[in-house]
């Protein structure tokens, strides 16, 4: 009786010391190799970021952004490949015939294929996003997704074959499946444009306002801090829109990619300061014999209508 009971126990301990231990070592080895690949990928991306930060370039080059994104994708793909190989070897070492699993795996794959179409679409879309360099790490983008009312806007923090992670201005993390992207607006490619609309009263001297805005643009371009961000001097485009009591004038400036927001904020502050400093002269306050131009126009209008109030 004891001899019969000892047989299965001996076989079980043999299995633990043999195939089970080998499978465990394969899994542990895969874990260590995956950690090593992840560590190496992080080191490479850190070096790319350090090179971009330490250089004199104000913006990350397109090549650096592409290298960063490509490193992240290759790291993710290598980890998936390592675990796939490890699982196959572990199953084989445990005595499960891998070749015998081909037929069930095919049936399972067909079944999962219908349910995983979106995942496959995400991976394929991510592949084309990376190879076509539509955007990369550090780009400021606005991503329109299927069925989305508002685009996901922010700075790209991570790009894999399946998802894109974007950090919004409010600090929120937005994760977008690559297969759901229908349109990408890249605000960090080649150059950008800062647009500043300046509202002034309808009674203002528009010619004088434009002169002041040109002076503001010249001073901004001569500023050591803004001169590095601007590609040329800001341009006053003229009257953009008219309202009953307000006129909007537009100032535009070409900037380095991704710097349009900083330049726009600085230009608005300079325009506000100029309006405060030149506030009296920005308005049409010309007076003739104690009567303002506006009063004279109203008197002429009453005369044309027969003196009606």
Q: What is the DSSP code (8-state) at residue 230?
A: B
CA distance 203 to 262: 31
Neighbouring C-beta atoms of residue 281, cutoff 10 Å: 14
pLDDT at 260: 85
Of 13-27, 104-118, 252-266, the one with minimum mean pLDDT is 104-118
How is residue 45 written in tokens? 């991306």
Which run of H or of E encompasses 145? strand 140-145
Alpha helices in 162-236 (DSSP H): 206-222, 224-227
| pTM (two decimals) | 0.54
User: What distances in angstroms separate CA 102 from CA 64, 91, 94, 108, 280, one per listed residue?
Assistant: 42, 13, 17, 10, 84
Mean of all residue pLDDT scores within the chain: 77
Using pLDDT thresholds of 50, 70 and 90, give the confidence band for residue 11: low
């Amino acid at each position: 009786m004891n001899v019969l009971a000892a047989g299965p126990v001996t076989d079980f301990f043999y299995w633990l010391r043999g195939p089970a231990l080998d499978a465990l070592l394969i899994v542990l080895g895969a874990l260590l190799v995956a950690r090593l690949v992840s560590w190496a990928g992080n080191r490479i991306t850190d070096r790319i970021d350090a090179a971009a930060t330490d250089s004199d370039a104000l913006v990350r080059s397109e090549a650096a952004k592409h290298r960063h994104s490509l490193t992240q994708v290759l790291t993710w793909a290598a980890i998936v490949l390592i675990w796939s190989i490890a699982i196959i070897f572990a199953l084989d070492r445990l005595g499960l015939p891998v070749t015998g699993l081909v037929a069930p795996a095919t049936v399972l794959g067909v079944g999962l294929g219908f349910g995983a179409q979106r995942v496959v679409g995400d991976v394929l879309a991510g592949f084309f996003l990376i190879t076509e360099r539509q955007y990369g790490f550090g780009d400021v983008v606005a991503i329109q997704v299927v069925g989305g009312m508002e685009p996901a806007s922010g700075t790209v923090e991570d790009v894999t074959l399946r998802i894109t992670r974007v950090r919004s201005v409010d600090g929120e993390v937005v994760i977008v499946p690559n297969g759901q992207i229908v349109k990408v607006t890249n605000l960090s490619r080649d150059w950008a444009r800062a647009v500043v609309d300046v509202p002034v009263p309808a009674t203002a001297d528009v010619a004088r306002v434009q002169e002041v805005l040109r002076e503001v643009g010249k001073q901004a371009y001569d500023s050591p801090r803004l001169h590095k961000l601007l590609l040329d001097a800001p341009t006053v485009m003229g009257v953009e829109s008219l309202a009953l009591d307000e006129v909007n004038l537009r100032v535009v400036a070409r900037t380095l990619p991704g710097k349009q927001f900083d330049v726009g904020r600085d230009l608005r502050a300079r325009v506000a300061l100029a309006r405060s400093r030149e506030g009296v002269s920005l308005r049409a306050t010309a007076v003739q014999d104690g009567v303002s131009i506006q009063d004279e126009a109203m008197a002429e209008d009453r005369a044309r209508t027969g003196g009606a109030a």
